Amino acid sequence: AQPAPLLEVSGLVAGYGQGEVLHAVDLAVPAGSVVAVVGANGAGKSTLLRVLSGLLPAQAGTVRFDGDDLATARVEDRIRRGIVHVPEGRHAVAELTVDENLRLGGLWRGDRRELRADVDAAYDLFPALAARRTSHGHSLSGGERQMLAIARALVAHPRLLLLDEPSLGLAPRIVAEILGTLAHLRAERGLAILLVEQNVRSALSVADTGVVLNLGSVVAARPSAALLDDEQLRHAYLGF
């Protein structure tokens, strides 16, 4: 039998105020796998990640993570359990240095030596950040800020990383570097990733599975290669 997926979302309904954005979404992320959620602007991709991290409450449905339903759990409890969100926008605290920003990612953990080791491990993954460790957030390039946002999330020891639009506005070389690092993390640490992207081709190039979201509903969930091969689906929902 197949092991239960690390994350299993079923019948998830959510929105803002009276407006429903996600309509009974079902989705699974197996341990150690990369799942890309793709679809047009406004499909509800960012909303989905906000509900999974607990920033936005679910109106209905279950969010099973490692066996437990976390649909109503608090954000900090989900982080402790291993669900860590990197929101769109690459937020770095402008007044803090790169090193201070990274240490923020593990602030809630008690052991300082362990935290230091985790921050150093993040520098090993992103050497560009190591070169900038005493620079302030406001002086970083877009690519450096994206790396910092991901690295800070890694310091929190995620088992599932929720990653919103990491490639937005970045040069292809930087995007390739970031995606390469994510592929490495998945291979070396078994990190599972739920990746939201406008850049469908680059997302599907690293993902095992692609989930197509349209107007808040899942219209397809298939191996990435199968999605790319389906010309009709591509034309209808992905615009190429």
Structure tokens at 218: 């899942």
What is the C-alpha to C-alpha distance for residues 123 and 127, in angstroms, rounded to an integer? Answer: 5
For the bound state, the minimum distance from the C-beta of residue 194 to ligand ATP, rounded and expressed in Å, comes to 13
Angle, vertex CA 28, rays to CA 165 and CA 44, nearest 5:
40
45 part of the interface to ligand ATP, by CB under 6 A: yes
Q: Does 44 interact with ligand ATP (rule: CB under 6 A)? A: yes
By the rule CB under 6 A, 42 interacts with ligand ATP: yes
H or E stretch at 218? strand 217-223
Name which of 97 and 198 has its Cβ closer to ligand ATP: 198
Q: To the nearest whole angstrom, how small is the minimum distance from the Cβ of residue 103 to ligand ATP?
A: 29
Among 189, 211, 224, CA closest to 22: 211
Taking CB under 6 A as the criterion, the residue among 16, 55, 112, 190 binding ligand ATP is: 16
Contact between 194 and ligand ATP by CB under 6 A: the answer reads no
Closer residue to ligand ATP, CB minimum distance, 55 or 225: 55
- In 3-state terms the chain splits into helix, strand, coil percentages (rounded to 5) of 40, 25, 35
Binding site for ligand ATP (CB under 6 A): 16, 21, 39, 41-47, 198
